[in-house]
């Protein structure tokens, strides 16, 4: 069992998935949102690592307070999550990084803090991919999600396109993946959790995983700047949310 040590002493559990444990393959790091464990990604890490055409070492970890990571007392702030991401990168001794796939706004900070250590290798290779999982609320302005969430997700979308503006000449491409409602356990925390029937109509976590895999497997000369994925039966439209 592998753990990275965060600056405050918390142990962050991480896993490395690679075909035949070949760690020489340029890695992909998957970073899920606040309060979620690495189970968020389901089979995606193994799918990427064992792809018969372009296998990639894939690194996942449990956010503090979830899975096999420590549960230290105190408030979990975005800056601490950023420190945890950087600690995992350091523990894995990454010299090169092909892709960083991030879900949720706090990871924006991690990209900013970890970027200087990662971008030079991407620039040298003339190849790099960043996938930020933004949101439907990062493109549109739903009342349901509120001002703070809408603003933060629009920031992720804008930051992603700025990477393309600044780093496209260096072979680095970025995509803002903007899903509508996705059926994950975090829905249980809503004041009025959606019904089982409504959840079955939503985008499923596996659907997002397949979409991310599609993006990760595109050739280096192709950049999908933004991709919106939503349920066919979209509550944002049906219920005017």
Region 31-48 average pLDDT: 79
**Domain locations in the chain as residue ranges:** 2-238
Alpha helix locations (H) across 12-136? 44-49, 78-91, 107-125
pTM listed for this prediction: 0.75
Laid out side by side, the sheet with 172-179 consists of 2-5, 11-17, 58-61, 28-31, 99-103, 128-133, 172-179, 226-229
The answer to whether domain 2-238 has CATH 1.10.3720.10 is no
Highest mean pLDDT among 117-121, 165-169, 215-219: 165-169
In the predicted model, is pLDDT for residue 168 greater than 60? yes
Region 142-163 average pLDDT: 90
In the predicted model, is pLDDT for residue 179 greater than 80? yes
In the predicted model, is pLDDT for residue 131 greater than 60? yes
């Amino acid at each position: 069992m592998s753990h990275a040590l965060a600056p405050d002493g918390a142990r962050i559990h991480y896993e490395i998935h690679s075909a035949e444990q070949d760690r020489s393959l340029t890695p992909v790091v998957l970073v899920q949102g606040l309060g979620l464990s690495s189970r968020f990604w389901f089979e995606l890490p193994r799918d990427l690592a064992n792809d018969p055409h372009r296998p990639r070492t894939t690194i996942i970890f449990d956010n503090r307070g979830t899975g096999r990571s420590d549960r230290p007392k105190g408030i979990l702030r975005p800056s601490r999550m950023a420190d945890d991401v950087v600690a995992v990168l350091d523990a894995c001794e990454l010299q090169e990084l092909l892709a960083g796939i991030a879900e949720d706004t706090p990871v924006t900070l991690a990209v900013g803090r970890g970027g200087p250590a990662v971008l030079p290798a991407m620039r040298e290779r003339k190849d790099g991919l960043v996938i930020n999982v933004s949101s439907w609320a990062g493109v549109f302005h739903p009342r349901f999600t509120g001002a703070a969430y809408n603003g933060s997700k629009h920031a992720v979308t804008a930051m992603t396109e700025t990477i393309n503006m600044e780093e496209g000449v260096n072979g680095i491409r970025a995509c803002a993946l903007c899903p509508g409602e996705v059926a994950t356990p975090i829905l249980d925390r809503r004041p009025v959790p959606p019904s089982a029937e409504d959840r079955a109509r939503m985008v499923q976590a596996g659907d997002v995983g397949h979409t991310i895999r599609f993006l990760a497997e595109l050739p280096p000369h192709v950049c999908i700047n933004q991709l919106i994925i939503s349920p066919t039966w979209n509550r944002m439209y049906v219920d005017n949310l």
